[in-house]
A and B are shown apart, each in its own frame.
Chain A
Amino acid sequence: GESVGLHLPTLSVQEGDNSIINCAYSNSASDYFIWYKQESGKGPQFIIDIRSNMDKRQGQRVTVLLNKTVKHLSLQIAATQPGDSAVYFCAGRDSNYQLIWGAGTKLIIKP
Chain B
Amino acid sequence: SQTIHQWPATLVQPVGSPLSLECTVEGTSNPNLYWYRQAAGRGLQLLFYSVGIGQISSEVPQNLSASRPQDRQFILSSKKLLLSDSGFYLCAWSAGGSNQPQHFGDGTRLSIL
Contact = CB atoms under 8 A, between A and B. Distances in A.
B42 A104 contact: yes
30 contacts: A31-B99, A32-B98, A34-B101, A34-B102, A36-B104, A41-B106, A41-B107, A41-B109, A42-B107, A43-B6, A43-B104, A43-B105, A44-B44, A45-B104, A46-B102, A49-B99, A49-B101, A89-B44, A93-B98, A97-B98, A98-B46, A99-B44, A99-B46, A101-B43, A101-B44, A102-B43, A103-B41, A103-B43, A104-B41, A104-B43
Contacts of B104: 36, 43-45
B21 interface: no
Interface of B: 6, 41-46, 49, 59, 90, 92, 98-99, 101-107, 109
Q: Which 10 residue pairs spanning A and B have beta carbons closest together? A: A43-B104, A101-B43, A101-B44, A32-B99, A46-B101, A43-B106, A103-B43, A44-B104, A43-B107, A42-B106
Nearest to B43: A101
Given A43-B6, A46-B102, A91-B43, 5 more contacts: A41-B109, A44-B104, A45-B104, A98-B46, A99-B44
A51 B97 CA distance: 14
Contact of B102 (A31, A99, A103): A99
Interface in A20-78: 31-32, 34, 36, 41-46, 49, 51
Interface of A: 31-32, 34, 36, 41-46, 49, 51, 89, 91, 93, 97-99, 101-104
A33 to B, nearest CB: 10
Contacts of B107: 41-43
Contacts of B59: 98
A44 B93 CA distance: 12
Contacts of A102: 43
A25 to B, nearest CB: 13
A40 B27 CA distance: 26
A30 B105 CA distance: 26
